[in-house]
A and B are shown apart, each in its own frame.
Chain A
Amino acid sequence: MFLSNWRALSAPVMMAVVLAVGCGESSTTQSIRVDGSSTVFPISMSVAEDFRTDHPDLKVPVRASGTGGGMKQFSAGDIDICNASRHMTDSEKETCKQNKVDYLELVVAFDGLAVVVNPENDWCDCITIEQLKNIWRPESDGTVTKWSDVNPDWPEEELKLYGPGTDSGTFDYFTEVVCGEARASRPDYTASENDNALVRGVVADKGALCYFGIAYYAENKDELKLLGVKADGECVVPTEATVRDGTYAPLSRPLMIYVNKKSLERPEVAEFVKFYLANAGKAATEVGYVPVNDEVAAESDKLLSEALPKTDKKGT
């Protein structure tokens, strides 16, 4: 008797409990929604975490659907802040205009792509963009297999390539800048998101060549040899300074956040963006990017304070 009653009761009780707890107010009404580039994600997440210690009641869910996915939501007005590792495309700007989404573009850090080789590689100190293109473009699959294929002065060492995976922003960026088209790359390289795997690979192969974010190089600089990159002018080695002032080109890029101006009307969003700009430098260094220089920082602050609702104009 007890048995059947117990069983009969438990289901509705469990249901009631789950639904009661689970049907609370949707968390997104009071949260600051951030989404977008997986490259900028670590910075935003770091800032969001620090922000939470000061404002434990505010929710800042940070997602990394990719710049494209983030832009889609941003231009539809679904999210407050879009992390971006590239500028908005014209069609995205169009969509924003159509949906009456007015936005701010704020640069929060710089990212550099380092090209590294095995320390025993003594024939190459500087590589040109042309040479990189020759190595990495899709047609080179199977044809460019030795260092001597790229430059006859170089030895006939077999070329072993490493790089980030195809779903990373770094990959998109490198291929666009070097090969001319995003995602155009030869497929026969060892792809990995795991920088440890890439570093191990480069260290083991005398003829290895790898590109990844400058942060990974910084963590493993004792084991790798960094190449300078020559575009049109001189050979530039990526350092914090050269990335920041733009001389390390074209393999350095700005990392940005796009902020919906309408969201700035909410005090918590305004607070968060201010906090972001103030702490982006610290977060960027922690994560391994290059903080912005003072000029750019001042520019961003100015843009922000102009965009804030006039009644809420406080100093940064």
Chain B
Amino acid sequence: MSISQHSDGRPYAKFASELFAWTCGFCTFLCIAVLGLLLWNVVSFGWDSLSWKFLTSWPSMKPANSGIWAALVGSLYLIGLTALFSVPIGVGSAIYLEEYAPPSRWRTLVQINIANLAGVPSIVYGILGLGLFVQMMMLGKSVMSGALTLTLVVLPIVILSTQESLRAVPGTIRQASYALGATRWQTIWYQLLPASLPGIMTGVILALSRALGEAAPLVAIGAATYVSFTPQNIFTDEFAALPLQIFNWAQEPKKEFHQLAAAGIVVLLTVLILMNAVAVILRQRFSKKIRW
């Protein structure tokens, strides 16, 4: 049977195929258009509230006087501390798993464990933080508690992306280094880490972006709703955070607070975009230096 004869038996086959193609294309369009539309609405709604006053004021009962300063500073503190903890621990874990640990059931178990941790809802981490940092370690609802909890949330991301970057470094580099008599740590510190730096940085910034947007763990540890100061002592002072502030404003019934929430979202998204842009730039800058 020739091909044309075969197709004649299915007169609608071509039409069905076209229709399918269009349907799939429509799905893609839907995906992007709806999200784009919604985001555009948020940004335009919140744009009016954006002002220098908004950025530098404390939150208030009166929408007109409310500002996001406490939340902004609080978030920056949180991200700084989270980075401080998660980068060494995460990169260290990844290095151990990739370079030191011999392939064994133990290592597979740890890998599976990390992959599962990446899928645990962030609120469960918040509960862990509540039980461990707030109560057992008596840190209360301080910046430190928040940062430690967020560290646990983003740790799997840092570990997994660092592992990927380390794996991408060709084995020949390692071999050459050992051949010249370097120890394992020397190889890692002088060869592998610099080489995988772009990937690691991208992973870290991804993780920190995630930490910036997380409100659930902070709610679980009981972060205060109204904070009109910037934290002075990270071990005892309470704090505000951008996503928390947005959440609180969005829950208020008054429309003016919704507008503030939209403005807060614009600030949050701006910071996120900046972080991602930095990641892309850094990645390109350091990629240039690597020539296999």
* Direct A–B touching, Cβ under 8 Å: yes
A interface residues with partner B (beta carbon < 8 Å):
3-4, 7, 11, 14-15, 18-19, 22-28, 31, 41-42, 45-46, 48-49, 52, 59-64, 193-197, 286-287
> In the complex, what residues of A have CB within 8 A of residue B237's CB?
26-28
> In the complex, what residues of A have CB within 8 A of residue B238's CB?
61, 63
Interface size class, chain B: 20 to 34
Q: Give the Cβ gap from A239 to chain B, nearest Cβ, in Å.
A: 23
Fill in one digit per residue for B72-104: 1 if any A CB lies within 8 Å of its CB, else 0.
Answer: 000001001101100110000000000000000
- Beyond A18-B81, A194-B253, 17 additional contacts (C-beta under 8 Å) are A4-B190, A11-B88, A14-B84, A15-B84, A18-B84, A22-B77, A22-B143, A22-B231, A25-B233, A31-B229, A49-B62, A49-B228, A61-B227, A61-B228, A61-B229, A62-B228, A194-B251
In the complex, the answer to whether A18 meets B234 with C-beta atoms within 8 Å is yes
> In the complex, what residues of A have CB within 8 A of residue B234's CB?
18-19, 22-23
In the complex, the answer to whether B80 meets A27 with C-beta atoms within 8 Å is no
Assuming A15-B84, A22-B143, A49-B65, is B231 touching A27 (CB within 8 A)? yes
In the complex, the answer to whether B229 meets A27 with C-beta atoms within 8 Å is yes
Q: Give the Cβ gap from B249 to chain A, nearest Cβ, in Å.
A: 13
Q: Majority SS of interface residues in chain A? A: helix
Assuming A49-B61, A64-B226, is B233 touching A27 (CB within 8 A)? yes
B interface residues with partner A (beta carbon < 8 Å):
58, 60-62, 65, 77, 80-81, 83-84, 87-88, 143, 189-190, 193-194, 197, 224-229, 231-238, 251, 253
Q: Which residue of A lies closest to B233 (CB)?
A: A26
> In the complex, what residues of A have CB within 8 A of residue B143's CB?
22
In the complex, the answer to whether B61 meets A28 with C-beta atoms within 8 Å is no
Q: Which residue of A lies closest to B289 (CB)?
A: A3
In the complex, the answer to whether A61 meets B232 with C-beta atoms within 8 Å is no
In the complex, the answer to whether A28 meets B236 with C-beta atoms within 8 Å is yes
9 closest A-B pairs by CB: A22-B234, A196-B253, A24-B232, A26-B233, A27-B232, A194-B253, A26-B236, A195-B253, A59-B229
The residue that B61 contacts in the complex, of A24, A27, A61, A287, with Cβ under 8 A, is A287
Most buried by A among B80, B83, B232: B232
User: CA A52 – CA B234 in complex, angstroms?
Assistant: 23
> In the complex, what residues of B have CB within 8 A of residue A197's CB?
253
> In the complex, what residues of A have CB within 8 A of residue B229's CB?
27, 31, 59, 61
> In the complex, what residues of A have CB within 8 A of residue B62's CB?
46, 49
In the complex, the answer to whether B226 meets A63 with C-beta atoms within 8 Å is yes
Q: Which residue of B lies closest to A45 (CB)?
A: B61
In the complex, the answer to whether B80 meets A18 with C-beta atoms within 8 Å is yes
